[in-house]
Amino acid sequence: MDDLSDHQREVLDIIRRYIFEELKITDHIRWTDWYILRFCRARKFDVKKIQQMIHKFVQWMAEKGFDKVNELDIRRFDKLREITGFGYYNTDKKGRPIYIDQARMAKISEIFENYQDEDLMAYYIQSYDRLIHVIFPECSKIANKRIEQTLTIMDLKDVNVLKLFSGKVKAFMKIATDIGQDYYPEILGTMYILHAGFLFSGIWTVMKLWIDKKTQDKVHIISGSGKKELLAVVDEQNLPVSLGGTCTADVRQDFGPWREALELSYQRKSVYHHDQNLVDQFFLSHREKKEREDKKQEHRIVESE
């Protein structure tokens, strides 16, 4: 927030009024200045484009029964975790959560036999929300600073790339990419795609058409194991053995400092962190902290009277 120019602050204020006054949104836990700022950055502080983006997001939330996502029985997706190879895994040297996808572990036919597109989309939505509202706060507590982006590693070792990026899989990946860009912007910090052979280079040419230029610049395509590049940004003990590190935890277990808080969110059927004070510490602007303190003070005065 401290890095915003006067113009950017003005835009943020305009969008804030648009959300709370025009769209009549009452969820102040989600729509903090920081949360709104991600949409502003994604649309380069163009007021009209930001309003269109947020309006589309709000409509999408309503259409997808967003208010019911927290009620998902997460155990329904235990099998999904068994037949795929992805999960959050420790933190990098900047304190960011690492998301790893070891594509060779994915049993594509079983995924689509057991889960409909709507099921998978609901899983993606709750996962993104818990990343923002549970995992980021836990990482912020450890780093003692706001952590708001991820390091993502996609390992294509021993993968039939044509099979992975064709047919139904390609169609769903397009949906997942759109969700990330349009509804959860500015979350990706850096991405490494490992064991990307010659064939992948051609596929990447097509994939880039789905992805905005800013995101493209965050993606590093590596033909080999990428061990040298990864160890430059991640401590060895925080990388799995399969990627050249020493950690033996299963990639699919969401292993990291957030595990207890994440499990509690599943039990509570809430995508929000159980400790709102922790979230407020790192994810409220100075203005919002003052507004909340003023309201508490007013409440104390009323009670004393």
Residue 167 inside a domain? The answer is: yes
Q: Are residues 114 and 181 in the same domain?
A: yes
Q: Are residues 74 and 129 in the same domain?
A: yes
- CATH code for the domain of 162: 3.40.525.10
Give me the phi and psi of 261, to 5 degrees please. Answer: -65, -35
- CATH code for the domain of 37: 1.10.8
Q: Are residues 160 and 241 in the same domain?
A: yes
Residue 1 inside a domain? The answer is: no
Nearest-angstrom CA–CA distance, 209 and 240: 32
Q: Are residues 193 and 288 in the same domain?
A: no
Range of the domain at 152: 70-268
pLDDT tens series, the chain, 305 aa: 778 999 999 999 999 999 999 999 998 889 999 999 999 999 999 999 999 999 999 998 888 777 677 778 888 898 888 888 899 999 999 999 999 999 888 888 888 889 888 888 888 889 999 999 999 999 999 999 999 999 999 999 988 877 777 777 777 777 777 888 889 999 999 999 999 888 887 778 877 887 788 888 899 999 899 999 999 999 999 999 999 999 999 999 999 999 999 999 999 999 999 999 999 999 999 888 888 787 777 766 766 66
Nearest-angstrom CA–CA distance, 131 and 88: 9
Q: Are residues 17 and 119 in the same domain?
A: no
- pTM recorded for the entire structure: 0.91
Q: Are residues 279 and 172 in the same domain?
A: no
Q: Are residues 58 and 82 in the same domain?
A: no
Residue 224 inside a domain? The answer is: yes
Residue 152 inside a domain? The answer is: yes
Q: Are residues 230 and 119 in the same domain?
A: yes
Q: Are residues 56 and 75 in the same domain?
A: no
Residue 298 inside a domain? The answer is: yes
The string of DSSP codes covering 169-211 is HHHHHHHHHHHHHHHSTT-EEEEEEES--HHHHHHHHHHGGGS
Q: Are residues 162 and 102 in the same domain?
A: yes
Q: Are residues 75 and 141 in the same domain?
A: yes
Nearest-angstrom CA–CA distance, 34 and 281: 12
Q: Are residues 111 and 176 in the same domain?
A: yes
Structural Rg of the chain based on CA atoms:
20
Q: How many separate domains does the chain show? A: 2
